[in-house]
Amino acid sequence: SAVISQKPSRDICQRGTSLTIQCQVDSQVTMMFWYRQQPGQSLTLIATANQGSEATYESGFVIDKFPISRPNLTFSTLTVSNMSPEDSSIYLCSVEPLAGSSYEQYFGPGTRLTVT
Amino acid sequence: ENQVEHSPHFLGPQQGDVASMSCTYSVSRFNNLQWYRQNTGMGPKHLLSMYSAGYEKQKGRLNATLLKNGSSLYITAVQPEDSATYFCAVDFSGTYKYIFGTGTRLKVLA
């Protein structure tokens, strides 16, 4: 199994500022994913972060708002830029299935963001 | 538009009962379906993987069936520690991109 940590675990930020969320995995993985989960809602995929290439964003999410870095095979960051209260959510990273793991994705514990 | 719906939204069985929940999906392309559970304040944890209509999977007290456009999950002899939100997620791309439903919130009454 993969162990994923995220920093910070939670934060309260003022509107107009930016927050960078870190995701660290204890093994090398090719694909990492960033999801958003609004309170009491389902998870929505923001983007796929592959090492060595630009992140691929899903419909409704853009690089200027959610820039992503993927400097190596165990680490990624997601920045939430120019925040507004609508960005208040839990942000989760996950990693691709490990070889032979039947499509099981591993998720980090999430970063709970509140924008005031 | 790809979407996944859950039924019911909330389930409150007594301890020892069977909890039954399901999800239906409408996606442009189906690759596989996953069941996850999520406890408050934590990330989702994988439960079961499903691949094609008619597929059944059992794991401990969990039993799931994949139907043509949905899946059913049964938890037998539910315990208070089973209380969580249960999601199904469908891979609509073949590249590990999943669409999640809104989930079924299970609260087991002792």
pLDDT digits (tens, 9 = 90+) for A57-82: 999 999 999 999 999 999 999 999 99
Q: Which domain holds residue B40?
A: 3-106
- How far apart are the C-alpha atoms of B103 and A114, rounded to whole Å? 23
The structural domain count of chain B equals 1
Helices (DSSP H) in chain A: which residue ranges?
Answer: none
Q: Would the pLDDT of A102 be above 70?
A: no
Coil, helix or strand at residue A92: strand
- Is residue A1 in a domain? no
- How far apart are the C-alpha atoms of B86 and B105, rounded to whole Å? 6
Q: What is the pLDDT of residues B16-71, one digit of tens each?
A: 999 999 999 998 888 899 999 999 989 999 999 988 777 888 999 999 999 889 99
- Is residue A113 in a domain? no
Q: Which of A48, A92, A106 sits opposite B97 (nearest CB)?
A: A48
Cβ(A108)–Cβ(A37) below 8 Å? no
- Is residue A7 in a domain? no
- Put simply, whether B95 touches A (Cβ < 8 Å) is yes
- How far apart are the C-alpha atoms of A18 and A13, rounded to whole Å? 8
> Which CATH number does the domain housing residue A54 bear?
2.60.40.10
Q: What is the pLDDT of residue A100?
A: 63
The structural domain count of chain A equals 1
Residue B62 has a CB neighbour count (10 Å cut-off) of: 18
- Is residue A26 in a domain? yes
Q: Which domain holds residue A56?
A: 17-107
Residue B89 to residue A92, Cβ atoms within 8 A: no
Q: What is the pLDDT of residue B54?
A: 76
> Which CATH number does the domain housing residue B83 bear?
2.60.40.10
